[in-house]
A and B are shown apart, each in its own frame.
Chain A
Amino acid sequence: MSVNYNNTAAGETISLAAVSKTYMTAKGPLPVLRDIDLEVKAGEFVSFVGPSGCGKSTLLKIIAGLVSYDTGNVSVGGEAPREGREDIGFMLQQSVLMPWLNVSKNVELPFAISGRRDGNTAKRVADLLELVSLTPVAKLNPWELSGGMQQRVALARALALDPGIMLMDEPFSALDEFKREFLNIEVAQMADKLGKTTLLVTHSIGEAVLMSDRIIALGANPGRVVGDIKVDLERPRRADMVGSDRYQQLSNEVRAALASDLEGEKQ
């Protein structure tokens, strides 16, 4: 692979202090996040795990500026969050590719929307497709690709404007186990090389352990931090780490943090 990893934007810091959020629903107010404090270092890979309704996705959307917060402070790369920041790449559960655009044009979309399309765009798109190993399918249509390939196109699109921060909201949950593990390793290695600050929302404890530097366990109703676990597996991450003792220990630590919250809720 001839892609140059050295010329990419450096990761940025993210800081949340006492952030709370309540959604107003037809049945009344629904608190989703309460007093979230979090410091993410530049270039750090942090995963959020927790049960449904713990506000993981809302947290990501607050950082992306797509959802407002009620109280507290949020700083993303030293600025207040707002939507449409070019230093944030966003990847969702579904690949959300435009069926009327081919693979190349889908990756080019952020350039077109931001008005940053120029003479270098074609080269940049080609590099991104090479980075995600999709050069041979550049001219194909999205529906001609497998689910895993579609998510790789989404990854290339999220990296298009060379953001310092990558936000990934359950990007692998729609994939089968094999493809998921393969992409976990690929993305974790890519994050190492690119040095971007990466936040991943996932339901999979194993995925979080395999990919992250740190795991934030969130309890539900409302969402709050119930565990902050440092993952000290060596980098680069490899698929065989899944069977290691340390991987099991870390998985158990995350599980225990989540379980303690569930126990507390029952009592």
Chain B
Amino acid sequence: MTKSVLYRVGLPTLVGISIIGLWQLMSALGAINPIMIPSPWDISVGFSELVTRGYFWQATWVTLQETLYGFAIGVSLGLIIGALTGTFPMFRTAIYPFVIAFQNTPRVALAPIFLTWFGFGITSKVVMAAVICFFPVVINTVAGMASVGDNAKMLFRSLGASRAQMFFRLTLPGASAVAFAGIKTALTLALLGAIVAEFVGGSVGLGVLIKELNFQLEVAKGFAVVLFLAVIGLVLYGLIELLERFLITWKHD
């Protein structure tokens, strides 16, 4: 147990430290242009300056809200549409072709349109995040429901299960593991959607901050914000993984 934890945590840590060390060494030797790629040290100095500024935490809070609101709306709608599509063949025939067609259009291209419709405030970012994370949830929910085996359905029929019992006791738990994989993808995409929408047009947020820092040639601080976003993404992903382990206890290796 200890050995495996040491292996799973220790090895990537060692790789990370080696990469950062090599990067720092090459920067110090002048092999890397600091305007293009600042050194890890400069980035950490830039980050330590940013965390003392109120606007940095305000931007973080705004981006987090956009991400989480967008995620909640996108996932809720995705689960509802996915459940309806998986349950009612007529709904599937009527709606699913549009879902697939929309899935294959580059949704980030909608960001300027949402800006026009909903303005420079938080709403256009929430909508972008929701739209971008909606599709993997729909598709995984439908796939999860389709993965419930015919034998299990037959067993429930033989037991005289009602439609509601079939849904709540079989389809819902049976689909949840696959649907949850979509929800995990959705969380990452929600953050992406919020940042893209901020790039296109916004006054506050980490995306806005990255753009402004780059305009001011504060590249090290820009990098620091990007890395901070990666940490936010990892923390959110870790939380959703914990939730998955709590809810889907039967998913085992």
Contacts and interface: CB of A to CB of B under 8 A. Distances in A.
B173 A83 contact: no
Interface size range of chain A in the complex: 20 to 34
A100 B152 CA distance: 13
Contact of B149 (A86, A90, A96, A110): A96
Interface string A101-113: 0000000011011
Contacts of B157: 66, 83-84
B159 interface: yes
B250 A141 contact: yes
Interface string A25-53: 00000000000000000000000000000
Given A98-B170, A98-B173, A84 B151 contact: no
A92 B250 contact: no
Contacts of A143: 250, 252
Contacts of B165: 113
Interface string B53-81: 00000000000000000000000000000
B178 interface: no
* Residue among A66, A92, A93, A100 having the largest count of chain B Cβ atoms under 10 Å: A100
A92 B155 contact: yes
B12 interface: no
Contacts of A113: 156, 159-161, 165, 169
A129 interface: no
Contacts of B161: 84, 113
* Residue among B149, B158, B169, B174 having the largest count of chain A Cβ atoms under 10 Å: B158
B160 A83 contact: yes
Contacts of A96: 149, 151-152, 155
Contacts of B159: 84, 109-110, 113-114
Contacts of A110: 159
Nearest to A161: B159
B250 A99 contact: yes
Interface in B133-181: 149, 151-152, 154-161, 165, 169-170, 173-174
A88 interface: yes
Contact of A83 (B158, B169, B174): B158
Instruction: Tell me whether chain B's interface is mostly helix, strand or loop, or mixed.
Output: helix
Interface in B86-109: none
* Residue among A99, A110, A143 having the largest count of chain B Cβ atoms under 10 Å: A99
B108 to A, nearest CB: 37
A64 interface: yes
B116 interface: no
Contacts of A22: none
A85 interface: yes
B249 interface: yes
A151 to B, nearest CB: 13
A94 interface: yes
Nearest to A102: B250
A86 B159 CA distance: 7
Interface string A69-80: 000000000000
Interface in B235-249: 248-249
Contacts of A109: 159, 169
Given A99-B250, A143-B250, A86 B151 contact: no
B181 to A, nearest CB: 16
Contacts of A112: 169
Nearest to A94: B151
15 contacts: A66-B157, A84-B159, A86-B160, A90-B154, A90-B155, A94-B149, A96-B151, A98-B169, A98-B174, A100-B173, A109-B159, A112-B169, A113-B156, A113-B159, A141-B250
Top 9 A-B pairs ranked by shortest CB distance?
Answer: A84-B160, A99-B250, A90-B158, A100-B173, A113-B159, A100-B250, A96-B151, A96-B155, A113-B161
